[in-house]
Amino acid sequence: MKDRLYVRVCARADEHGVITPEAFTLNGHTLPITRVVERRETRQTKYGGQGTRYLVRVGQNQACLYRDDDRRWYVEDNEDVRQVSHFNGG
């Protein structure tokens, strides 16, 4: 099972309440999100509960950013996240 890495997120909400992440902070580095590729409501079977999964692009790399039903943001510790962190000098 992958560990959750909780992150700080800068996001905006539109007039309909749709939340779009714009940047997140991982290992002390703020990573600008250049594009949200996909947004999907998910059931989190590993931990229970529900949330939203955002497939985001940071530079040339992609990673999954999650917002759980407690409104906390996290990424899963895996190779994709390490590449994104490395991209920004992390």
Lowest mean pLDDT among 17-31, 54-68, 73-87: 73-87
pLDDT, position 85: 63
pLDDT one-digit tens code per residue, 28-42? 999 999 999 999 998
Q: What is the mean pLDDT of the chain?
A: 86
The number of folded domains in the chain is: 1
pLDDT, position 77: 74
pTM, two decimals, is 0.81
Task: Write out the DSSP string of 25-79.
Answer: EETTEEEE--EEEEEEEEE-TTT-SEEEEEEEEETTEEEEEEEETTS-EEEE-SH
Domain that holds residue 25: 4-87
